[in-house]
């Protein structure tokens, strides 16, 4: 599917100037894709690469760290970018250390490191500190996906983490709805919670003139079908543009594909005139 994109003077270029064609299908070989780009100030969609995946409820995986961060700061369990710092303990990784885990998982972790390196054990400890009932209250207040935080049992009857390939699910359109409220600071959390979460989501290595904020998520659906997210927003000339990028393999046993969702997003944004990456 190839989209030609024209923009009026309120966007990046002069009136009716042309942004390079994007052939989305070439970015999703052996996979389904979904990409949404939304202009917050003008309250309108800029791009919708729509497939069935966009409206398919899917586990948020590590993109759930965005609402979890807001809740953690709002409940004052998290306080700054560097506080609290929690020390790693072996019991935090019940299945042991895996080759794919960043070394930062095995040391002291603060909120900034948690989001940057997507430290799962920090999320679990934070959920324990907040309490699952309080999480459910916030999910309902945020209207976040299906709001199901009960978790499901795996084949060996182990209760899976609710947001990782488990009971909590969200569509790309629901991610967009949530991110609109976040960017507009309309989620009924403290100003501190909004500011700290935004600061921790800033992708310094990807920002040159335009600033990027975002979070990836990755996991496996039934039959070991890999799926990945990259959600966030770009700030350009004091305006915000929300992006929701999603990918789902068609072939089982693939590798985590959240990096592809992220890389695709940057390719699309650069083609649209955003000034990104050093």
Please give the positions annotated as active site. 62
249: which strand partners? 31
Q: How far apart are CA 187 and CA 185, in angstroms?
A: 6
Nearest by Cα to 110 from 89, 88, 82, 130: 82
- 72 alpha carbon, distance to own chain's centre: 17
51 C-beta neighbours (distance < 10 Å), count: 18
Q: How far apart are CA 42 and CA 19, in angstroms?
A: 19
Q: How far apart are CA 52 and CA 155, in angstroms?
A: 28
Q: How far apart are CA 236 and CA 41, in angstroms?
A: 11
Q: Please tell me the total number of residues recorded for the chain in this structure.
A: 278
């Amino acid at each position: 599917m190839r989209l030609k994109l024209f923009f009026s003077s309120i966007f990046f270029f002069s009136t009716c100037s042309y942004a390079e064609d994007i052939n989305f299908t070439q970015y999703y070989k052996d996979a389904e894709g979904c990409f949404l780009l939304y202009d917050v100030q003008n309250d309108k969609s800029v791009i919708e690469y729509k497939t069935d995946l966009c409206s398919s409820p899917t586990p948020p995986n590590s993109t759930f760290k965005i609402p979890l961060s807001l809740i953690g700061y709002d409940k004052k369990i998290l306080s700054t970018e560097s506080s609290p710092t929690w020390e790693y303990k072996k019991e935090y990784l019940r299945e042991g250390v895996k080759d794919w885990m960043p070394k930062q998982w095995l040391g002291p972790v603060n909120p900034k490191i948690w989001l940057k390196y997507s430290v799962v054990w920090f999320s679990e400890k934070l959920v324990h500190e907040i309490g699952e009932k309080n999480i459910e209250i916030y999910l309902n207040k945020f209207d976040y996906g299906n709001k199901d935080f009960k978790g499901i049992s795996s084949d060996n009857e182990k209760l899976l983490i609710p947001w990782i390939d488990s009971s909590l699910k969200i569509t790309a359109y629901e991610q967009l709805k949530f991110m609109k409220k976040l960017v507009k600071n309309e989620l009924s959390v403290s100003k501190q919670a909004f500011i700290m979460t935004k600061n921790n989501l800033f992708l310094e290595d990807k920002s040159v003139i335009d600033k990027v904020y975002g979070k990836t998520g990755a996991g496996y659906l039934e039959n070991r079908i890999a799926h990945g997210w990259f959600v966030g927003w770009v700030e350009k000339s004091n305006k915000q543009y929300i992006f929701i990028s999603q990918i789902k393999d068609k072939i089982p046993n693939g590798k985590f594909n959240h990096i592809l969702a992220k890389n695709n997003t940057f390719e699309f944004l650069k083609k649209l005139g955003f000034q990104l990456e050093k």
